[in-house]
Structure formats: structure tokens, C-alpha cells
Structure 1
């Protein structure tokens, strides 16, 4: 019985502990887009993949602005591919109103997000927002 008393708290503690989050999960600030707006993107785990949602948008002076994209899913199904790389997802490019194949590369507090439609690829480097 004494071993059980020592073992039970360890088992219950491990069940209550949250799973380790993917290092890309969190808040990210985008580069200015073609309209010179930046956005705050929240990356979450969605099943076995990552998804990103536009939380807020800002004008060049840093003032929050309302756009049609706030609250919308920006990318989904982005899966960890090892060594800070992510692939296999889809990104919605609001300014062009197209969907493209998505990939990303995490390096410290920078996340390079790229979308490719056919042979044409474009992307941004996002910075982790604290």
C-alpha cells in the first residue's frame, strides 16, 4: 500500500499536466501587407496540425482597424515536418482572394510563412508577439 500512495500522485499529476505545445503556437505579428496593414495572428493546434486566425489588424501608426479578415482563419492543416519546418497546409491570401499551399519555417522568434500557387510562391516573416 505505501508504494501505491507514492505512485498514485505521480500518475494523477501526469494526467493533469498539459501536453507540450508546439513551439509555433502563440501570437505572431505579420509584416505590412500591400495595403500597409499589419495583423496579429493566433496560431493554435487544430487536431494534429496548426491553424492560424487573424485576431487584429493595425494601420501604419499602430492603431487597431477593423477589416473583413479579423476573426477569419488564415491557414489550416499545417503539419510539423521536423527541424522547425511545417508543410502540407493551406493558406488563404485575402488580398488576392486565393488559396495556396502553405509551408512555414520556425527559427527562434521568427516564422517564415510561404504560400505557393503553382510555381508562384510568396511569403512573409512574422515575429512572435509577446
Structure 2
């Protein structure tokens, strides 16, 4: 997967869960996400900002070759999202 910042990331898992590890760039090797199935092509879990090392509640959804993820604070009041594309 190619991140918005231009790095690459690997998604691995099975049994309805997956983790995300950065494979290139400044934070190569860092695990930044853990998600489990919450619906059809929808996932919930946690995502870590590699710059600050803070972990947030997260959601992810897959549509074709795109993965949209968002992390939120304050019970979902403030959220940031990114869309990654499958390589």
C-alpha cells in the first residue's frame, strides 16, 4: 500500500483482523495499526501516528484498491483521515 506521505506499508493478518507496518520511509519497520472486522469491508481498531507515537481509535474501510482510514479523539469529535492505494 502507498501512503499519502509516499511511504509503503504492509498489511498482514487473517481471521478477521490485520495489522499495518510501515515498510519504507522515516518510520520503516514501525507497526502503526491494528484492526478487526466490524462489517462488510469495514474495520475498527487503533492507529498510531508515527511522528508523535500517540495511538487513537480508528476506523478503516476498503473500496477496490483504496483503503480509507481515520483516527479520532474526544469520542469522535476530532478526526483525521487518509486514503492509501494498493500497489
Q: TM-score range by the shorter chain?
A: 0.7 to 0.9
**1:28-47 → structure 2 map (5 Å cutoff):** 28-32=1-5, 38-45=6-13
| Structure 1 moving runs of 4+ over 4 Å | none
Q: Which runs of 5+ in 1 are unaligned?
A: 1-27, 33-37, 58-66
Cα RMSD of the aligned pairs, angstroms, is 1.4
Alignment of 1:69-108 (within 5 A): 69-76=27-34, 78-87=35-44, 89-108=45-64
Alignment partner of 1:127 is 2:82: no
Structure 1 length-normalised TM:
0.60
Structure 2: gaps of 5 or more residues? none
Higher strand share: 2
Aligned length: 85
Provide the secondary structure at the position in 2 that maps to 1:79: strand
Greater Cα radius of gyration, structure 1 or 2: 1
Q: Larger helix proportion, structure 1 or 2?
A: 1
